[in-house]
Amino acid sequence: MKKLVSVKDAIQLINDGDTLLVGGFGLSGSPLTIIDEIAASDKKDLTVVSNNLGEEGRGLGKLLVAGNLKGAKGSYFTTNRDAVKAWSKGELEIELIPQGTLAEAIRCGGAGIAGFYTKTAAGTKLAEGKEERIFDGEAYILEKAIKGDVALIKALKADTLGNLIYDKTARNFNPVMATAAKVVIAEVDEIVEAGSFAPEDVVTPHIYVDYIVMNRYIKKGGRYVESV
């Protein structure tokens, strides 16, 4: 399969200072194998756009511990105490974005839309410094699209062209992130022959996907366990 690369080669596509779009809701749908490889590298000053920053020492939390990060943009960091500590010591820049605004900003980033007006957060602290405009008597704020240098996403299976399907609620931010970065690397559990998916079932068409990496994690008792 043309797009399949080793995880070592895959992370060579990431440069210091890059903005990474990283899929996942907590650890579910998060590309854990690629994250491990970044944590073991000397990549630095990365900004991660992801709903959370994993958990303490798990998933994206590893990048914080390893010192790869300059900043994080997402909706919920409270559950990772390392992130709270790093932020209060001034070691991590955090931009807090409502979850729906985050998803829509990435969708726009992939769809050629520069920005959008949303009523979410209008009139709140999170609207400070943002343009407010009234449409049909209701206040909306201007949010800019979000794009990444590299998207790191997690899918259940890829076919040999790179079409992707996802596992249950592990889909979350992955399909929109697949559209919004210059380079898209998908970590998958399995690669099957093109034609194995019914066209109706393909969630991410292959043109969005540049590289495929095999997942080293397996699930046991419904939880993630590293296999090597």
Partner 1 sequence: MSQSERIKIAKRVAEELKEGEAVNLGVGIPTMIPDYLGDKKVFLQSENGLLGMGPTPADEDIDMDLISASKKPVTYEIGASLFDSSDSFKMIRGGHIDVAVLGALQVDETGEVANWAVPGETILGVGGAMDLVAGAKRMIIASTHVSKDGSPKLVSKLTFPSSGKRKADMIVTEHAVFKFREGKMYLVEILSDISIDQLKEITEANFEILEKVK
Give me the residues that bind partner 1 (CB under 8 A), please: 25-29, 51, 75-79, 83-84, 87-88, 94, 96-104, 106-107, 118-126, 139, 166-176, 203, 219, 221-224
Closest approach, Cβ 158 to partner 1, in A, equals 17
Q: Which is nearer to partner 1, 123 or 195 (CB)?
A: 123
Q: What is the CA radius of gyration of the chain?
A: 18
Closest approach, Cβ 202 to partner 1, in A, equals 13
Contacts of 211 (CB under 8 A, 6+ apart): 3, 4, 5, 10, 13, 183, 184, 185, 186
Q: Which is nearer to partner 1, 75 or 160 (CB)?
A: 75
Q: What DSSP string describes 125-154? A: GGGTTS-EEEETTEEEEEEE---EEEEEEE
Q: Which is nearer to partner 1, 42 or 90 (CB)?
A: 90
Pairing of β 138-144 and β 132-135: antiparallel
Q: Which is nearer to partner 1, 14 or 179 (CB)?
A: 179
Pairing of β 69-74 and β 93-96: parallel
Q: Which is nearer to partner 1, 15 or 124 (CB)?
A: 124
Residue 43 CA to residue 68 CA, distance in Å, equals 6
Closest approach, Cβ 172 to partner 1, in A, equals 5
Phi, psi of 160 (to 5 degrees): -70, -10
H/E element, 74:
strand 69-74
